[in-house]
Structures are given as structure tokens and as C-alpha cells.
Chain A
Amino acid sequence: MSSETADPRRSQTVDRGPLAHGWVIVRTYVRLGVLNVAQYRGEFYVALANVITLATQFVGIAVIFANTSDLGGWTSAGLVALIGVYTILSGLIAMVIQPSLQQLMEGIRLGTFDFTLTKPADSQLLASVAVVSPAQALNIVFGAGIVGYACIRMGTMIGPLQWLYFCLTLVFGAAIVYSFLTLLGTCAFWWVKVDNILVVFSAVFGQAGRWPLAVFPGWMRVVLSLVIPVGLAVTIPAQALAGGLSGWLVLASGSVAALFFVASRAFWRYALRHYTGASA
């Protein structure tokens, strides 16, 4: 008791809870990412080009609404909000999820992942934030800007409850996308080369994720909500702003997120138990 109070610095470094420890890890990797940006400035232009790519999506929306006044119940402003949510989530994927998964797969193939396992922290967390490219944060900022612009164009007052639902479901959406990608990435422990599966995911997310679930026929809606839940992740937050959400939908989105997160966690543990190491 007396020795603990005698050396407060020691107690600070040792008695930190797992959450605080996790936070330190995340912060360290973000800092390393920032240092990397200074090294490869080209990445910044990549993010900037994605913003130009957004412009063609707006032209696309303009073309559609030159021919119709609503798309499956969505107005053009609502669709812009949806593009904003899509941009935020794709920015998150490009900033940390995708590059870290790429590193994980590379590490498994080369055997360097074994070093990650020796570190005294949660291995899934370490693998999930291993590479951060902060230039992609530009996408998140732009996505938020687009959402803001869409809200102004809608011209309706969005109540505080719907804003709360928006924030909640956006977090759920991020959790869904993260968990789903981690589930795919974890397959690398068996198949080593899963790049191609990730390509399929990017195609589904990049194509189907930019449109509201309402335009899809019934069975595809089920697939995009529960099997490859990218439609759910993007549409629900946008709907909070565009038309309002019921509490049940928030709950449903939260449950899907929780389900996928628990599944990704369990699958990761299972994979580690069966991992023998490429170098061994």
C-alpha cells in the first residue's frame, strides 16, 4: 500500500486497465500513421482524387433526378445524405481497416505476424490498427460536409432524437463494416491469399453501398442487410436524416452490429487457436 503511493509513476504504467492500454495503442499507431504521411505525400493526393470521384457521383444523382422525382421513396437530397454516409464509411475503411487487413495478410504470408502475437496486448486490436493512413481522414471530413450540405438542401428541421439516431447508427454501421471485413480478413489464417475476397467486398460496398436498400428487390435487401450488411450500414444512418427512423430500426441495426462484432471476435480467437505460423 505504502509502496504504491510512494511511486505514483510506477502505478500509472502498471495498473492501467485494458481499455486505457488499448487507447494508448490506438494513439501510438495513429501517430505513426501521421509520420508516414509526411513520408509519402502521394497518399494525400489519393484521398484528394477520391473527392474528385465524388463529383461524378453527384453528376450521377443529377442525371437520375433529371428523369424522376424520387428513387424508391428517396429524394435527391436524401440520396446526397446517403452518399455522405457512404463516403464517411469508405474513408474509415481506407484509413485504417483495409490497410491493416492488408498488413495482416502480408504478415501471415511472410511469418511476421508472429511478432504481433508476442506483444502484450489484444492481438485483434493490434492487427486492426496496425496501419493508419490519416490522409484518408480527408474522406471522412468530406463525407461529414456532404451530410451537412444534404441536411441544408432537405430544408426540414431534423430533431435532436433523429440526430442521436444518426450518430448511433453511424457507429453501428462502422462496427458492422469493421467486423465484416475482419471476418473476411481472418480467413487469411487458413487460405493465406484472401485479397480476392476483399476485392469482392469492395465491389459490393462500392456499388451497392451507394444506393438505398429500397431500390433493391426483396431478396437482395435481405442479403445486403444480413449476409453482406453494407446496405444496412449505409442506408440506416442516412434514413435517420432523410425520413426519420423508428427506434426499432435503431435497435435492429445495433443488434446486427453486435452480432457481427461478437462473431468477428469469436472467429479471430478460433483462428488464433489454429494458427501455427508461417515461419514455424
Chain B
Amino acid sequence: MTAPSRTSLDGLEPAPDFSRFSWRALRQYYRGEFAASIAVNVAYRGSVGIWVVTSVIQPIVMIVVWRTVAGPTGTVGGYTASRFVTYFAIMMLVNHLTFIWLMWEFEWRVREGTFSPLLLRPIHPIHKDISDNVAYKVIGLIGILPAMVILILAFHGDLSGMDPLQLIAAVPALVGGAVLRFMIEWVLALSAFWMTKTTALNNFYMSVQTFLSGGFAPLSVFPPLIAAIANWSPFPWTQAFVANVAMGRTTGVHILSGYGVQAIWIAAAFGLLRLVWSRAVRRYSAVGA
């Protein structure tokens, strides 16, 4: 039996040429990989369900706390108690659609050597991660969307100021936020190539991220200095911006400038990602290999 070789002329299918970038190949890859990811997430629907339950807890607690701060009639940073409910309910959805878990997984991937087969594939491993991520988000939405509605109904959220145009404007903001957050956190995950234990860095990142992205409170309730720090960081542009557009708090030209800020951060994050990735792979030596 002759081993198939790239140069053979014996009627074997010619080996695909991956040296050139091909949209067609990428599209095919995504179609297959996405179907597989969906199947995996459906198979582990119990775990997905548990994760959905976990992601509901934080918004509930934040709603309860800020409702107490605002009191039944007062406002804090322009938010009444029932506006806080809407804000955190929407933020839950935005968080679900933008977060990634890979910084917790890369340590294990590097340690157990499961990165090796991914690197051997003739396609950048990020595509598999993107596909897995999108598939998980789609399956998780089945739980998160009803949870959001229940939160708004149970805690009497105030939906005034929302309108269809604002919701449409929130969609590109959401996509931009998801892309930006994916890149930032994927770069963070790459730290596993240099560190054997990444939990410390991840915990630190998560606490800063939750705070500056608006997960702890809307940015308008922050004291001016902290609000300024947050606005100059990329984090609110991944989440709070999206929620503000959806709620009708950010309008008109501010939406456009927000898209602009997202674009600048995405470009910067993309540059960083390429730089760190090329160095990370050179450093890689699988422990399991």
C-alpha cells in the first residue's frame, strides 16, 4: 500500500494547499466545526444549563444591592430602582454574548499537551475557539433570554426609553464588543504559554474587568475619577456601551463615536494578538509531548 503523498500523481486527491488564505476553505471549516460544536453543546446541555444558572446569580445580587441604594423613590446616577433592574438584566445578556472561558482552559491545554493536535491542524486554532464560543452562546441563549425576561418581570424593570431603532443600533455595538472582548481575553489566555499557573492572573483580570466594564454598576454612578479610568480602558466598550445603547441612554452621534472607539480598540487588540501569538507558539513545548 502506497502512502499518500503530496506530490504523487497516482490519482489520489491532491492535498489541499493551506499556504494561501482561502475564504472558501475557511467557510467550509466553520460550517463543519460549528455543527460539531453545536452537537457537543447539545450533548452537554446539563453543563450549559448550570452555567446559565450561575450567570443569573450575579445580576440578581447587583439588582438587589443597587435597588437598596436607590430606595423605592430615589435615583442614583440617573437610575431609578427599576432602571437598575433593566440595566443589569441587559448586561446579563451582553455578558453572556461576549464572555469567553478560554483563559481558564489554556493552562490545562498547555499542561496536558492538548494544544499539540490543535497546532498540527493546518488552520489557526483561534477559528476552533471562535466556533466553539459562538455555538455555546447560541445554545446558552435558550436559557439566558427567558431568564432576562423573568428578571425584568420579577423585579419590575423599567423599559421606557427603549425603542426599536436603539435596539438595532445596539446590534453592531454588541458584535464589536464581542469581538473586542474575545481578542483581549484570548491574548490573556495566551499567558498560559509563559506561566504554569494562570489562576492568579485570571482572577485579577476578572475582578478589574467586571468593575470597569460596568458589571458592578452603571458607569454613571461612579465617582468622576473612576468613571474616567473606566472610559479610557477598553472594558466599558465591550459591555456597558452596548447596554446603554439598548436602553436609549447613549443616542445619536455618541453611538457613532462609540463604534469608532470600539474599532480603534479592536485594531489595537488585533495587533497585540498577532504579536503575542507568534511569540507564544515559538515558546510552546507541550508538557505531555
Contact = CB atoms under 8 A, between A and B. Distances in A.
A48 B199 CA distance: 11
A173 to B, nearest CB: 19
B200 A42 contact: yes
A46 interface: yes
Contacts of B77: 67
Interface stretch (B56-64, B164-172, B178-186, B280-288): B56-64
Given A49-B204, A216-B64, A42 B196 contact: yes
B222 to A, nearest CB: 6
Interface residues of B, number: 35
Nearest to B75: A67
Contact of B46 (A42, A196, A200): A196
Interface stretch (A5-13, A27-35, A53-61, A261-269): A53-61
B207 A215 contact: no
Given A67-B69, A71-B65, A203 B57 contact: yes
A208 B76 contact: no
Contacts of A203: 54, 57-58
A56 B199 CA distance: 17
Contacts of A17: none
A71 B204 contact: no
Q: Is the interface of A mostly helix, strand, loop or mixed?
A: helix
Nearest to A217: B64
Contact of A52 (B195, B204, B211): B204
Nearest to A60: B216
B28 interface: no
27 contacts: A45-B197, A46-B197, A46-B199, A49-B199, A49-B201, A52-B204, A52-B207, A53-B207, A56-B207, A56-B211, A57-B207, A62-B223, A63-B222, A64-B65, A64-B69, A64-B217, A67-B76, A196-B50, A197-B50, A199-B54, A200-B57, A203-B54, A203-B57, A203-B58, A207-B60, A216-B64, A217-B64
Interface of B is mostly: helix
B118 interface: no
Contacts of B233: none
B226 A63 contact: yes
B208 interface: yes
A215 B193 CA distance: 43
Interface in B194-236: 195-197, 199-201, 203-204, 207-208, 210-211, 216-217, 221-223, 226
B197 A40 contact: yes
Contact of A63 (B61, B201, B223): B223
A50 interface: yes
Nearest to B154: A217
A156 interface: no
Nearest to B50: A196
A258 interface: no
A27 B207 CA distance: 34
B68 interface: yes
B53 interface: yes
Contacts of A217: 64
A68 B69 contact: yes
Contacts of A66: 221, 223
Contacts of B216: 60, 63
B8 interface: no
